[in-house]
Every structure is written in C-alpha cells, then in structure tokens.
Structure 1
Amino acid sequence: MTKLSVNINKIATLRNSRGGDTPNLIQFAKDVQRFGAEGVTIHPRPDERHIRYQDAHDLKPVVYTEYNIEGNPNAKFIDLVLALKPTQVTLVPDAVDAITSNAGWDTIKNKSFLSEVISEFQRNGIRTSIFVDPETRQVEGAKATGTERIELYTEAFAHDYGLGNKNAVKPYTACAELANNIGLGVNAGHDLSLDNIAFFKKNIPGLLEVSIGHALISESLYLGIENVVNMYLNKLK
C-alpha cells in the first residue's frame, strides 16, 4: 500500500493566525498518526509563516512513523535537517516569496549542487527525495545526483483531471515507469485529493508515498480528520 504522509503546514497556519497555540500542532501530529497516517510532513520556510523552525524540533520526539521535512536547501535548512535527522528530506526549489511550491528542480542544470547536498544528507543516514516535474529527462537527471527517490509534482495532473482530462496522468505514469527501471523510488504530492487520489494511485506503478496537506485539511473541515485520514488510506490500498 502507498504510504500516506500528512502535511501539517495548514495547522500551523491556523495556529499562527491567532498568535496562540490552538490548534496544537504537536497534538495534531500525534492524532493523525493514531488515526493511521504513516508519516508526517512539514515544509518550513524562511519567514516561518506556518511551520516554525522550533516546530521541527518539537515534532521530532512525537513523530514515530516517517518524518519528512521539505524545503529549499539553503544553509539554515541544511543545518536543521542535519540536526534532526528525519526519515526523509525532500528538496524543493521554492522561492523565498512563493505561496506554495510551484515547480520542480531542473536536475540537469543543478546536478552539482544537488549531488553535494544529497551526499551530505546521505552521510548522515537521511533518505533523500527530489521534487521534479513530470518529465523523463528530469527523472534521469535526478538519478545522476545520487538521490534515492523523486517526488512527482502533481499540480498539473490535479488541475487537468478536475477538468475531466484523464490523460493528464500519462506523463506521470511514464516518469514512474522510468524511475522504477533505473532504481529510483517514487513519491508524489501537491493538490492530490479524495477526488483524484485513487485514479492517480492506480496509474502510477510503484508509488511509495504521497504527501497531502491542503486538500486533506480542507476536506476534514466537513468530514473530520480521523474519517478523512481513513478515507485516504482506503483509496490508497
């Protein structure tokens, strides 16, 4: 079964909006794992507008499933990851002012930089994943960096699938097949939801993990977090 990692950035955004500690991020992380999630994802940004760097430290003792930290590998981020040694670090090339991640790496142009960062994380026993667009050349470029996994950036699929275009999954299928053939693990994330996750899972061979935050939290406003986590788990079987 494909693992479900719950991105809890939105819970931190809600907490920060009032300046207190409600909802409590640490308790939420405990709860989603208790409800069945197999991982917790955070994506701290330099301005700490949702996840704070201290949150990353506070979560370390309570995440007993897979702990996935996403982000652009600047010096501060690298230091954080090396200090915490999460299960996985996902490298995302987001700009400082980006509202959310909006592109994958050019793994060919950035091969030297990515290889250096990845080697450092791997020396510390941290699994690495590179956020990539659904292009086979970028998958091949990712392999050349030495990473263990890629994370397919699924916004384009989600948008087109919502318009009724099921062929939008084809580039992702091709990338997953290539990744499987060359020894890369396949993760995926961004705008995956209860509406599209089962179709996506069915068409992506060897899909190891999905990271879902915005849709899952939004759906939980209507359906409840425990219910929604289990709905995802059922669709990922």
Structure 2
Amino acid sequence: MPTQLSVNVNKIAVLRNSRGGDEPDVVRAASTCLDAGAHGITVHPRPDARHIRAEDVYALAVLTQSRGVEFNLEGNPFAPPRVGYPGFAALCGDVRPAQATLVPDSDGQITSDHGFDFSGDLGALRERVAELRALGCRVSLFVDAGCPDVERAAEVGAQRIELYTGPFAAAHAGGDARAAIALCAETARRAQAVGLGVNAGHDLSQGNLAAFLQGVPDVLEVSIGHALIGDALYAGLDATVRRYLEAIAHG
C-alpha cells in the first residue's frame, strides 16, 4: 500500500485562536486538504486547548466520516480531564477515530519531542490501549528511533508505532542524515518483525520527505502539519498538499 498522507491541522487552529472568532475555519481547511488528495486528517487536542479544541474534534469527526477517510486523534492517554478537555479516552469514545496515536507529552511541551519508555511496568499503558481498541480505534504509539525495546509496543496491544522523526529532520538539515535514517530504518524493521505497522511524523517536510521514505521501508502513513501549513502560506493549501503527495510518490 502506498504511504498515506494525514494532514495535521493544529496550526490552523493556532492562527484562529490568536485572534478569536472562527477564522480561519479548521474544518474548511481540512476539507481543502482532502479535496487535494490527502488521505486523512490528524489533530492533537491538548488539555490547555491552545490550538485544537473539543468542538473541533467533533466537527472534524463528522467531516472525516462523511468523506470516508481516516481521522487520527493524538494525545496523552494519562492527561487528566479538566474544563474544556474531557480527556483523551472520552474524546475517542465520543468520536471513534479510526486511529488513536498515544503520545507521552506533558502539558508544558511546545510540541511532542520524545516517545514512550517501554522499560518499566507497562500495565497502565496496556489498560489504556485495551480501552481504545474496545472503541474500535487502531492504536499507534509514539516511539523514538533507536528505541531499545520497541517490540514491547506489540506486547501492550498496539497495532502500530509512529516514529518520531525530529532527529532525522535535524540531521537532514545539517547535511548528513545517514546515521539518523539508518536508525529509523532499523527501528522500523524491528517493529515490523513483531507485526507492528509503522507510521512517522514530526518535522517532515517537502525537503526531506522523499529521502526519509526512500530510506525507511514500508511506512504506512506520515502525519505532517507544521511544515505543510507553513508552505501553504506561500503556495496555497491545495497546491501544497499536492506537492507533498508528489514527494511521497518520489519516495
């Protein structure tokens, strides 16, 4: 199966929230991405609602279901509910996303910057994964390239991993990504050997996407937001999504 492109529209919500009101419209932006050929939509609602809010999750669920495409909901399954944020499991229970990507981030993080540590007791994570799978969600766990025990993602019931590609992107920008891509490829192979599908995301861009996919075997899905929305400021959202799809094809 060709690598799927899921567009993360968090940054559209950041722009909207900076002014207040409803513009730019997150659902309209997501619909434009799908019209251009994107295979799905990703959002990462955070407890402080600094970009995507609960009502956006509900509206995007309606859109993606009506279009018959994947809705990928990211979040920390251990973050407690609070005003305006019912909790990750509650959101998944309400909208039943096709995929739930679990990320071990804290409230204060600007963006996700590390994967799960599988070295300790995984009982609580196993319970969260089982809860989400019972809702019909495919569960993916955010992991670092080089994770020493990535195989344990399968032990807790996950069906996929998402490789954190930030270090690869930094190495590519520095001019020598050989070691970083080899580490990603090795981690992907180990995950696939125990039956896990492999997704990837974070700092992937038009400039590095093809190289990443050429170096890492059988990536099922890439989730891209920051670079894609930034490129769209200059080229437009429709044209930018099509360029990312071309980069995937070249990869």
Give the TM bin, normalised by the shorter chain. over 0.9
Alignment of 1:136-147 (within 5 A): 136-147=147-158
Question: Quick one: percent identity of the two aligned structures?
Answer: 46
| Structure 2 CA distance for aligned equivalents of residues 138 and 69 of structure 1 | 25
Q: Give the structure 2 partner of residue 13 of structure 1.
A: 14
Residue correspondences, number: 237
Q: Select the residue among 174, 185, 204 that pairs with 2:197.
A: 185
CA offsets 1:39-72 (integer angstroms, 9 cap, x no match): 1000000010000011101111111310000000
Q: Give the structure 2 partner of residue 4 of structure 1.
A: 5
Matched, 1:148 2:152: no
Q: Select the residue among 176, 182, 203 that pairs with 2:215.
A: 203
Deviates more, 1:116-125 or 1:41-50: 116-125
Q: Aligned-pair RMSD on alpha carbons?
A: 1.1
Q: Give the structure 1 partner of residue 30 of structure 2.
A: 29
Q: Where has structure 1 moved over 6 Å in runs of 4 or more?
A: none
Q: Aligned-pair distance for 1:108?
A: 2.8
Alignment of 1:85-234 (within 5 A): 85-109=96-120, 111-167=122-178, 168-234=180-246
Q: Secondary structure at the match of 2:48?
A: coil
CA offsets 1:90-142 (integer angstroms, 9 cap, x no match): 00011111111011111232521211111111111110000000124231121
Q: Give the structure 1 partner of residue 83 of structure 2.
A: none
Q: Aligned-pair distance for 1:9?
A: 0.3
Q: Give the structure 1 partner of residue 46 of structure 2.
A: 45
CA offsets 1:175-228 (integer angstroms, 9 cap, x no match): 111122111000000000000000001111110000000000001111211111
| Structure 1 CA distance for aligned equivalents of residues 232 and 12 of structure 2 | 12
Alignment of 1:68-79 (within 5 A): 68-73=72-77, 74-75=79-80, 76-79=87-90
Segments of structure 1 that go 5 or more residues without pairing to the other structure are none
Segments of structure 2 that go 5 or more residues without pairing to the other structure are 81-86
| Structure 2 CA distance for aligned equivalents of residues 138 and 165 of structure 1 | 26
Q: Secondary structure at the match of 1:23?
A: coil
8 Å Cα contact 1:66-1:88 kept in structure 2: yes
Deviates more, 1:137-146 or 1:113-122: 137-146
Q: Aligned-pair distance for 1:163?
A: 0.3
8 Å Cα contact 1:136-1:178 kept in structure 2: no
